[in-house]
A = this chain, B = another copy of it.
C-alpha cells in the first residue's frame, strides 16, 4: 500500500498492482498534460494535470464500488479503468480536440482505447478496461455516463484550482446516491438532490471556466498554430499524440511562420480580441442554422471561410479566427432514478434537471477573433455582412 496526497480527496491509497501501472510511461505522461488547456491564461491557478484527475477518478470509482457493495475484482477493474480513462488526451487536453477530430478523425477516447490496448496491465484484461472506459455495461456507467465519477472529480478539482466557487458538490452524498436495482446502476431517490447539485455545478462552471472567452480565443489560436504544422507536414498526428505540453509548446516555439508567431503571442499573453461575439438570441434562425452547418462541416471548411473572410479585409491567413461553440448536450435527462419503487428518467422527477440543459443555450456563442492591432480597424457590422455573403445566407 502506498499513499498519494491529493488536494481534493486527501490521502489516496494505492495497491502494489496499481503502482506498477501508475509508474508506466503512458500514465506518467499525464503529469505533464494540463487539465484545462489554456485556462491558466484566465485563472492563474489552473495548472493542474490529467494525472491528478485520473488518480481522483480512480479513487472515486473505488468509493462508489464500495458503496454499491461490488466485489473486490469489480472494484479493482473500475479503479484501473478510472485511472486510464483519459490516457489518450492530447497535449493541453481539450484545446486541440476539434482539430484532430475533424482533421484526422481521432478523439481522446479513440486514442485512449488504442493506448490501453497496448499497455501491460498485469492481471487486468485490456479488453474489459476498454469496455468500461467506453461506458459500456452497467459498470461502465460509473466511469462514463451523464452522471459519472469523471464529472464529479473534475468539477470539484477545477473549482479548487481556479478558485471559482461554483464547482462545489456534495461528494459524500453523491457517492452514496447510487444503487443497483434489477441489475442496473441507478440513482436512488435520496440522491436526486446530490445529482441536481452536480448538474448545477456543471451548468455554472461552463460559462465561467470551460467556455470563458479568453480560453476559447487561446484555444482557437493554438488550433490554428498546430493546423499550420499539419498543413506543412512538420507534425503528424502520431507525433502529436505522444507529446506532452512541454514537447508541443517547445516544438511550436522552434517552428517558423504562423506556429511560432502564434506561440509567442500566447507566451506574451498578447491574445486575439473579439470583433464578433453573438449569443443565440442575437441572431435569427437562418443565420444560426448556417453557423451550426458550418461547424458540422468541420475545421477544414471553417479555415477556408476564415481565409476568404480575411482576404476581404486584406488580412493574412491566420489573422482571423472563427469560433462556433458546440451546442449544449441534453443527455443528463436520461439518467435512471429509482423513485418510489419505479424506474423513472431523471427529468420526470427533477424539474431542475429538465430545464438546465435548455438553460445551457444561454452560454452558446459565435465569435470571430483577430489580433489587437487589427481589431481597431474592423467593425462588427462589416465583418458580419461579409461573412453572411460568403456563407450565402
Chain A contacts to B: CB under 8 angstroms: 3-8, 10-11, 23, 25, 28-29, 31-32, 34, 40-45, 47-49, 51-52, 55, 160-166, 168-170, 172-173, 176, 193, 196-197, 200, 203-204, 207-208, 245-247, 249-251, 253, 267-270, 350-352, 355-356, 358-359, 361-362
Contacts and interface: CB of A to CB of B under 8 A. Distances in A.
A204 B247 CA distance: 36
A106 to B, nearest CB: 24
A49 B55 contact: no
- Which DSSP category, helix, strand, loop or mixed, fits chain A's interface? helix
Contacts of A203: 352
Contact of A168 (B6, B165, B267): B165
Contacts of A359: 351-352, 355
B52 A44 contact: yes
A268 B25 contact: yes
A9 to B, nearest CB: 8
- Which residue among A196, A207, A251 has the maximum number of chain B CB atoms within 10 Å of its CB? A196
19 contacts: A5-B43, A7-B161, A8-B163, A31-B44, A44-B52, A45-B161, A47-B49, A161-B161, A165-B169, A166-B197, A168-B168, A193-B204, A193-B207, A196-B204, A200-B200, A200-B204, A203-B352, A247-B253, A352-B362
B362 A358 contact: no
Contacts of A351: 355, 358-359, 361-362
Contacts of A165: 168-170, 173, 197
Contact of A164 (B5, B48, B247): B5
A176 to B, nearest CB: 7
Nearest to A43: B5
Query: What are the nearest 9 A-B pairs in CB distance?
Result: A250-B250, A7-B163, A7-B45, A351-B359, A44-B52, A47-B47, A165-B170, A355-B355, A168-B168
Nearest to A54: B44
A164 B7 CA distance: 7
Contacts of A160: 7, 160
A71 to B, nearest CB: 20
A273 to B, nearest CB: 14
A163 B45 contact: no
Given A11-B176, A268-B25, A170 B162 contact: no
Contacts of A358: 351
Contacts of A270: 23
B40 A44 contact: no
A381 to B, nearest CB: 16
Contact of A193 (B10, B51, B208, B253): B208
A200 B198 CA distance: 12
B352 A11 contact: no
A269 B204 contact: no
A51 B55 contact: no
Contacts of A45: 6-7, 48, 52, 161
A270 B28 CA distance: 10
A5 to B, nearest CB: 5
Contacts of A193: 166, 204, 207-208
